[in-house]
A and B are shown apart, each in its own frame.
Chain A
């Protein structure tokens, strides 16, 4: 281990923090400077996360001890495959959303640039930290920035949705605190690895209380992940936010999934003693119910942006249900699914804005108001008799957007040939053949849920796509700049890359999942005394 690669672990937190701080100091008027700084920060983070992705692809985890205190006393950052993957996804999505916002959204309100950087800092911190309370702090950094992002652009609909979003997340933060303090009161530690090492030796009379505390903590994460009875805030909030903010918010729900994945597998895995497997049924059943609810909302969505929000629900549900199955191979498939779905849903949120813009020139930018018009409006507008019977050529912009939309639909619904299909296959294949035994009933339910949710997504996407691209009245000018289309193309090309390089990507995801299910390397890595420590 050389000295400077060790310090790379903290760089994804420092870079956006320093960039954001410099932006606050520079003031809001120097837009060119702010945009340049933001762009260089996001590009730097792309490079950093690529380096971390390579560094993490090793059996041992990398630890960064702040102040070189041993893990039991100090705060540690932990880099393993899962956290490197999440940081990489956040950087990619951050870069795409940032470039997209440069076309016009960054001028729509004050403090967009610093908020964006702090948002990325909170995300990266939450993915890298190895300490429960530090996780809380980074959650709050991320949420505080996301409140600003959700309100970016202002307007009645955004403020109304933002109010609900803030109240719900404040409440979830309070639950987080209750959970953390119960865990500290019983186990006497907040370090995740230390806690996992102590799980086996918790006294029998304290165990129920500790499990209750962790369950409260889990509820706070599941509110973020929008599991079924806790996720009603999600579609409304995402529908009201500006497109680049919505793209970034869509990875916020994956932070909840990440926390569940990390903590649940660490604490309630095989090393959990009498608590092993606690809450597995709740996760898988809750995930399945989320898939069901998400599928119904996908079908019921009257406009594209709500459809994108509902597909976040489906993707959350799929991940939770897959994690709840408790098999390393299924989790590996789920991680592969997570990568593809983050990119595809991010691309969809950006794309929706361009499509909706072409449809409602002069109407309110807020897509929410489209509900009032209903979907039938456009058919009545363009009377077919007036036009040439043969039709007219589709303008190039519409064609490009249409092809991108098609790719998003294939990815999100999980149809071949793109990575969505491979991911679903990677989850279902080990589920239905667990070492020769007959698969448990819940495996069949999961299979049905995945296939039916895919069907619902296809139906809804086809309907929305026909409405958006074929039924648009003639002569509607599309004003899409290259800067806005490039990020979408980048995200979709990356999804295509995931499809082509599915073998290595799936190997990486499976290795990450194996490490999560057998966390001995993680424990040893974090708890070993530092070299030259005090």
Chain B
């Protein structure tokens, strides 16, 4: 171990990275009133500080060195001790940069977006707390520390979805998110128990070390990876635990951008990439991950077609894109999945913030049927939004093109998966341009009052849009396909993380250059045809989605999200509630208490009965005595 010199002098900065936002949370919570409007600026600057530190660590660490150290023992019993420690390696560095970078931009954006809100300061306190937990999640050196962040971001998600807490529908959405995540967390927890029991620890070094000595497909590894994947399903909104994410749009739009698109929901992908050795050793789980991803990607994309709330469309598109990432992981293309996490973080944050800017301009309206023609009123928002839309649709040279192409290329050897993912991407291009055309083109369909109110957002909001737009254009060049004869920086940077997996999985299915070009052309053709269809529908024909009552047949099923929420309600929620009452009224009050009261009654009855014997009548006593003596005599005789 001696040859790996620990860059000790980075420990301080690396600790500050999560501590700065935590400090912000504490300051804003306890001194929010005194800080007044400075509070949000302080919060934003602290996150900027974390970002700068992350860049510093990034530049001084590179991808050859890791920073791995324990701070203190958190839990211990017998010979087991579970430490609280930090690990910074290429994978966490990427996440650090994304979280703090986009985090800062969204903080800045929120200063403009939220400044009318009476919970202005509270909002930033929660955002800072979120950043803190998210950083713990990606910086921990063990699954236990990851779990702290994992549950912590769930809490922040709860707090921010239910940010406007006087609205009970929002509170329901918040509660739903937390509980669905908890279902996943149980899987995570049990996965940790198995690791602790069979692999001898929870820190990555121990777990991955002992796993690599096990044979491929060992049942215990399959069990562990499946359980952990249940956790990922909850956090990253995969079938069947995805229904909380669309509801989570109840939160303020910057929250949707930061938590429910760019960072928190990708935690599941981060977790799997972090445990890539485990997953590579459990091919069965990889298969499951792939199919869940494909199914989610397609299913959510279909629902996306019939949504009319601008944020709901983006929400389903997030679910769909996350599915795409899981499909990539399931194919063993860990770095491609991670690459899509990064590009998606940029363009989806951009899209959500753009939607926020639209909603801001519309004075709170979110229904696309009441928008239209916004291009000329909010030009900057519209242009950046177009960039985001092109990026998510996978048009060259926008970021989404590169990462999506990589995933599709990895899927090519698995023809059905490739077809399904291509279809899903095609649908994505369609509904995204449907969204774009309905919102920004043809004529304005809102009220006069709304029209009067239309305005471009302040600089704190447009600056983040512009910066994110630049990344949505440029981030793809971090990972150029081999056909372009340029270095794939991203894969190179992450190479140390997935090295072992590469050898476990064997030769990956490399497509040759001509196939790759063919694949790109097919994908682009599909995307462009989708755009054309959307254009015909929503611009040439100027059709506007019908009102909810008029929707019929299959379309009604789609727009009602296939009634999955209703199904869960009938099959799980209601029965549990009934069971609760049955347990309380029947089992507790009737059955158990019956025994308790019966024993009390027995005592009373015995007392009452025996009392009758004590009559005080001497004749009776003598009579009983004689009888008893006779009985005793009889017994003697018989024996």
A and B associate in one complex: no
Where the two chains meet, the residues of B that have a C-beta atom closer than 8 Å to any C-beta of A are none
